[in-house]
Amino acid sequence: MTKTLIIPVTTLVTGLAVLALVFALGIPPLSTTGLTYLFVGVSFGLYFGIAIWSKAGSTRDFYVAGGGVPPVMNGMATAADWMSAASFISMAGIIAFAGYDGSVYLMGWTGGYVLLALLLAPYLRKFGQFTVPDFIGERYYSRTARVIAVVCLIVISFTYVAGQMRGVGIVFSRFLEVPIDWGVIIGMAIVFVYAVFGGMKGVTYTQVAQYCVLIFAYMVPAIFISILITGNPVPQLGLGADVAGEPGTSVLVKLNQVLSDLGFGAYTDGSKSTLDVFAITAALMVGTAGLPHVIVRFFTVPKASDARTSAGWALVFIAILYTTAPSVAAFARLNLVDTVAETPYEQTPQWVKTWEGIGLIGWADKNDDGRIQYGPGDALAGKPEFTGETGASGERQVANPNPDTANELYVDRDIMVLANPEIAQLPGWVIALVAAGGVAAALSTAAGLLLVISSSISHDLLRKTFTPGISDAQELLIARVAIAAAIGVAGYFGIHPPDFVAAVVALAFGLAASSLFPVILMGIFSYRMNKEGAIAGMVAGLGFTMTYIVLFKFAGVSSDYLLFGISPEGIGTVGMVINFAVAYAVSRLTKTPPLAVRELVEHIRIPSGAGAAPSAH
């Protein structure tokens, strides 16, 4: 094992060993809050230590970690980079409330990695540049194409990072007992330290540690809760197992019965149209293959074959969490209903009041009976707007109850995974572990996205386009300044997010699907695709998708006017089709790419030592 591997792995193992010793000896006895500070503090110390040890000394270190990351570690870092707050915090929460409709996230986000491993990763690595705009600029022999790719990348990355910073704010606000806005600011400061100093090199090895933390934090409570509900320690099997004490009644059957009794549709039935399900799944899938912060990870391995290998490892590491998420979602919804439905507010457990205290649960006693009525429909007109007054049962009064539904309870989808250990009354150290995992998931992806934004500004816009004469040292300084500025913008979006974490992230995937994926794919597999086609395709795809999202997410246009009933989360699929069609048509009406470009396509498509390729002339 090389020094590159020994130090971060040893640091991680040492940190985990210290925590294990604390619990084994029972020293010191700590409250849940104290344990949370301990877990989060030790994990932060670990991340900072790795960042300082692996400080980037060159632009190659800063952008691609020197290009020498082993495939297994790169696969682990890729998994952490991609399994963001949306995967850890929000995905199971959305599935818990959407049921069958939430399966689009599971299918889309995992299926995309197959596309990435087969169609893009090895070819982009063989191309050998630092960034996605680098590939587009060189392949399409155009500064304009490079600049448009940078614009696409920045739009995608800032949309994505908004969800991560909100995730950080939620975790800190609950477990460190600070307001959500301050939670976002703390997260900004942490990312600043290890991303600005370490660059991609520091972020890569930090993400290896973060993957270990987040997957441990996700699986431990899942195993505990699976045992409590079904007696089966394997969550994936627990989802189909019988509920403990109720032979012949599986978890899903029980959940369907309970929700139907409350007036909801069956958990295993879907409400979305088949076309919308297809569109969302396809957008998430091809969006995964077009995400710039994921693609850049395949420039960090030594050779092209390692890119494919690391993609395979990443899929294995991702599958551990993604095959567990449906179980976590079902267990959470079942526990929630058992805990709060028809329960007098005074008798609700402390976790309800705690999350209510930070504005992520709201209760409006519409019939003045002091009991929580839980059923279909929005309990409130939007998110809770607290008056500052206390109701007759001691609840925080809300100013915006929805008179059109009998439902009295608002539960933010993003809290379900974080609250699940509390709902199931697990030990305090499990709750603290989940807090550390949630922070790790959000910060790992935020750092990767911010690095992509930074490199696109310093490398693609300045070094390769507008100021080609700057030195490596100047470029590195600009990259660090750019990432600091990007952190500030990301923090603003984290404080003012447009939707739940997973929904925001889904929009980013749609933008990636409609803008970057088509031109990357055609750049690899089409000799005929030229700069005019690529530019027209990116502008058309991104322009259409952005306009649709703005109209239905921000401008308040009624869902009655959705195109073919396709939601904003799925419109990226239509944008992708438009991109392909426009690019193809324009390329056929304009000049063939130069011979050197066709030879470049031939080079990146043919494996080393495979012999001569068909002529690209």
- 515's CB contacts (< 8 A; 6+ apart) are 152, 155, 156, 290, 538, 541, 542, 545, 575, 579
Residue matched to tokens 């029980």 = 254
- CA 143, 508, 278 angle in degrees (round to 5)? 115
What amino acid occupies position 349? P
Same domain for 280 and 362, yes or no, is no
> Which residues are within 8 A (CB) of 126 and not within 5 positions of it... i.e. 6 or more apart?
304, 603, 604
In this prediction, the residues of the chain whose per-residue pLDDT falls under 50 are: 1-8, 13, 24, 27, 608-617
Name the residue among 453, 599, 431 with its Cα closest to residue 527: 599
Same domain, 383 and 452: no
State whether 100 and 217 are in the same domain: yes
d(CA 252, CA 232): 15
Q: How far apart are CA 177 and CA 287, in angstroms?
A: 35
Residue 139 lies in a domain: yes
- How many degrees, rounded to 5, is the angle at CA 452 between CA 451 and CA 458? 85
416, 441, 466 - which closes a domain: 416
398 and 274 share one domain:
no
Dihedral, 382, 358, 211, 25 alpha carbons, nearest 10:
-150
pLDDT for res 104: 85
- Total number of residues shown for the chain: 617
Angle made by CA atoms 156, 505, 136, in degrees to the nearest 5: 25
State whether 7 and 110 are in the same domain.
Answer: yes
Does residue 152 sit within a domain?
Answer: yes
CB of 120 closer than 8 Å to CB of 521: yes
611 domain-assigned = no
Q: What is the pLDDT of residues 295-310, one digit of tens each?
A: 777 777 777 778 778 8
Output the pLDDT for position 4: 46
Residues 411 and 436 in one domain: no
**Are 498 and 387 in a shared domain?**
no
| Cα-based distances in Å from 416 to 51, 91, 373, 411 | 31, 9, 19, 8
Q: Are residues 230 and 181 in the same domain?
A: yes
Separation CA 266–CA 252 (nearest Å): 9
CB neighbours of residue 383 within 10 Å: 12
What pLDDT is recorded for position 616? Answer: 46
The residues, ordered by sequence, that sit 6+ positions from 605 with a Cβ below 8 Å of its Cβ are 123, 524, 525, 613
**Is 540 a member of any domain?**
no
Boundaries of domain holding 324: 3-332+426-515
Query: Are both 216 and 156 inside the same structural domain?
Result: yes
Residue 573 lies in a domain: no
CA dihedral 34, 205, 8, 70 (to 10 degrees): 150
Task: Kindly state whether residue 290 falls inside one of the protein's structural domains.
Answer: yes
Per-residue CA distances from 454 to 200, 300, 450 (Å): 11, 17, 6
Query: Are residues 408 and 470 located together in one domain of the fold?
Result: no
- 396-398 and 386-390 strand pairing: antiparallel
Last residue of a domain, one of 498, 515, 532: 515
Asked whether residue 609 is domain-assigned, the answer is no
How far apart (Å, rounded) are the C-alpha atoms in residues 472 and 478? 10
- In this prediction the pTM is 0.79
Beta partners for residue 344, in sequence order: 371
Q: How many domains does one find in the chain?
A: 2
Under 8 Å between Cβ of 242 and 250: yes
Which pLDDT score, from 0 to 100, does residue 467 have? 81
Number of helical (H) and strand (E) elements in the chain, helices listed first: 25, 4
Of 575, 574, 567, nearest to 551 by C-alpha is: 567
- Identify whether residues 412 and 432 lie together within a single domain: no
Whether 132 is covered by a domain: the verdict is yes
Helices (H), 176-273: 180-230, 235-238, 251-261
Closest CA to 279 of 582, 84, 564: 564
User: DSSP letter at 559?
Assistant: G
Q: Do 237 and 361 fall into the same domain?
A: no
